[in-house]
Amino acid sequence: MPDPEPDHARVPPLSLGAALLPIATMLSALVVGAMLGALTAESIVIAMLTAAAVAGVIAVRRGARWLDIQQATADQVARVLPALLILLAIGMLIATWMLAGTIPYLVAWGVRLVQPEWLALTAFFAAALMSTCTGTSWGSAGTIGVAMMGTAAALDVSLPMVAGAVISGAYFGDKMSPLSDTTIVAALAAEVDVYAHIRHMVFTAGPSFLVAGVVYAVLGGARDLDTSAATASALLAELDRVFRLHAVVLLPPIVVLVAVWRRLPSVLAVTLSSVVAAAIAVLVQGRSVLTVMVAAVSGVRATMFDAPSAATMYSTDLVRLVERGGMQSMTFTFVIVFAAFLLTGAMQVSGALDVLLARLLASVRSAFGLVAATMTAGLTVIGLTSHASVTMLVVGGLVRDAYRTRDLPPVLLSRSLEDSVTVTEVLMPWTVSAVFMAGTLGVPTVAYAPWTVFCWMGPVMSLGLAAVGRRGG
């Protein structure tokens, strides 16, 4: 007599409505929060946890256990552990670069050399160069990006615009650098050579870069040049009083560039640079070892530069510039990560993700439809997982055979993955990258998002080329 079927085998297939319910719950909670004027990081976490609870109930009703959801969540956390370590390392990097005088030195020269009307364009180019050389958008935003934001504050230039320019430049390098993890994984997911992938990325990244540059050149500028000049002069005087602005403070960024170029893992390159910056803070800037250690963990405070009452002696601009960084500054990002992965873990166990992706691909009838479906799948999964590599590998594995069946070049798949995953995560306020950028640059996602021109143009260019029949390029 055959063994009876297990309970889960008799569970009917999950309907599309049930699969969409957790996502609809999260979006509804976000809309309500926005209508109440409380679309904060905390409300985003609540929205994701509420959606995770809905997905968990669906999973349990289909025979899953809490342990199954817990294990699915743990598996995702394990996959993103390197990224979480980089988050901690960048928090430490920002603090040590600040104490060493590296970021103040860059801000001082930015104020002296850059005209306010060209600051957004300069920030865009500087972040693009840094990101292309290092292959990391987070590292670029946390270093040169922080310096550009300090310069923008001193020159009274729109902070959301400069933040958008920094992010656009940072993600240009993240797409085009052979040192970038996402660039390499996109090529792996489509089974193409990484340099062939980069060559074909030029067809979408190139025009997007030019459009972004034109926007920042035309719309950049200061609100009040007289006020900007006075504010900048005051800030320069304070920086000269608090820091020894010597060229030796440029050693930490040089260490990053050399370490990454020699193919050291990003977390090791950032940590090594932080150690060098900590030494400079002690030997050149005269900070105590204890002060450097506290700042690396808890962040820099103005009181670290003088007597305990020094915070009242410094201008708001200086305090806003220096008080940042530290590993603890990344704590809330970790909360976002776990909330997102609880939601994704429950949806995975319930079968909702499989239903959504299968339904998305079932309606594909043309090359353009396949590219659009690939990009929609990429947007959906990255919005739920906040992990570009996992998203590209999952979506790439699902659609790779469909590209082969239609005799479409694999570089079209790799480019579609980059243009829908790498550059879009930072536009969704609940994702890890968006939370990191908002916290590091000091501008909410909803404020900087309209200015991330390069990130918006990626999907537009990719879909446009597919629509006119440009398959490989």
The verdict on residue 116 lying in a domain is yes
- What pLDDT shows up at residue 451? 93
Cβ neighbours of 314 (radius 10 Å):
20
In a domain, 87, yes or no: yes
Cβ–Cβ < 8 Å for 183, 194 = yes
Of 307, 328, 349, the last residue of a domain is 328
Q: How many whole angstroms separate alpha carbon 440 and alpha carbon 141? A: 7
For residue range 283-311, list pLDDT tens digits in order: 998 898 999 999 999 888 888 886 444 44
> Does some domain include residue 5?
no
Q: pTM score, two decimals?
A: 0.72
Residues 364 and 427 grouped into a single domain:
yes
Residues 55 and 26 in one domain: yes
Same domain, yes or no: 86 and 66: no
Output the pLDDT for position 309.
47
Are 69 and 191 in a shared domain? no
* 259 and 318 both lie in a single domain: yes
- The answer on 51 and 91 residing in a single domain is no
Residue 159 lies in a domain: yes
Residues 255 and 107 in one domain: yes
In this structure, is residue 446 part of a structural domain?
no
100 inside domain: yes
Q: What is the extent of the structural domain holding 320?
A: 82-328
Boundary of a domain, candidates 264, 296, 328 = 328
Q: Are residues 133 and 92 in the same domain?
A: yes
Residues of the chain with pLDDT under 50: 1-9, 224-226, 307-311
Q: Are residues 294 and 356 in the same domain?
A: no
The structure tokens listed for 424 are: 């879009």
Question: Are residue 164 and residue 305 in the same domain, yes or no?
Answer: yes
- Please report, for residues 28, 85, 255, 393, the alpha-carbon distance to residue 94 in angstroms, rounded to integers and kept in the order given: 36, 14, 14, 31
User: Do 283 and 353 have their domain in common?
Assistant: no
The pLDDT value recorded for residue 161 is: 93
| Residue 9 placed within a domain | no
Quick one: 360 and 253 in the same domain?
no
Residue 1 within any structural domain of the chain: no
pLDDT for 164: 94
- Looking at the structure of the chain, the number of domains it has is 2
